[in-house]
Amino acid sequence: MKHFISIYDHSSEELYELLEHASRIKEYQKKGRPFITLSEKVLFMIFEKPSTRTRISFEVGMLQLGGHALYLSPRDLQMGRGETIADTARVLSRYGDGIMIRTFSHDIVKELAENASIPVINGLSDLLHPCQIMSDLLTIKEHLGRIDKVKIAYLGDGNNVCNSWLNASCRFSFSLTVATPKTRKPDEEILKRAIKEAKEEVKITDDPYDAVKDADILYTDVWESMGQEGTTAKFATFRKFQINDELLAHSQKSPLVMHCLPAHRGEEITDSVMDGKNSIVWDQAENRLHFQKALLDKLLS
């Protein structure tokens, strides 16, 4: 494993091993046992988009592994003033041991990886959010004891998180129903590939009630991603996709509820559900740290 750009790039075996490693690292931390494998290693963190969880989890993760994380905003780099992405990748490769980037354009992530001689991690792009979904799979495994045969319903915008769930369906044996407005479907190429290659069934619908009826997991995200605000009349478009008590009651099971955060409470999810007994949102947030520590250890040690 050289880079971590997309879940689809890696084998099922590699991805399952990462999850197992994350579980081991989490157990070490719970028992107060140090796990220092990246002493004196340096991770460059490039943020074109601000973040709470991504920055904190990577920075704390590097610290706990014994390394250092250096935050780089657009003001700290020459990329915004004419230096090419390729040249930036080559220079950073001479100074440190890894690059994590959170950016608007997936092409930037790919170009960085193509030109860097050190590992590049996709912390989020407009197309994909692979670290989030791997952390979520760790959370599902903890709560349900398995990933295989789990039924996941994704509701809302067909965004980068949705695209990464579709990629994950090609590597893990869960079934996935994607419920989005007809005008907000996921990436067409990623969707077609998932329907063809998924290990279990992948469906797309514009009926949220059909999606949740036998789901083990209900998953949602913001209706408009950062940088895309104002691109849709969101309340009219998304209202029926809100995860609320009525929708939860429509499920034949008592599904767990997930949200990758930040949440716009009262929009894609209500307070009563997010703070309710079915919610595992905070476990999700914590597991960003543990999965990413496993990933950093794998790539940088």
Name the residues annotated as catalytic: 102, 129, 132, 221, 260, 288
| Cβ atoms of 219 and 268 closer than 8 Å | no
Render the burial of 39-67: b for 16+ CB within 10 Å, e for the rest. eebbbbbbbbbebebbbebbbebbebbeb
Residue 249 falls in which region: left (phi positive, over 0), alpha (psi -120 to 50) or beta: alpha
**Residue 268 contacts by C-beta under 8 Å, 6 or more apart in sequence?**
155, 156, 220, 221, 222, 223, 238, 241, 242, 243, 259
The CA distance from 241 to 239, in Å, is 5
The CA distance from 18 to 171, in Å, is 13
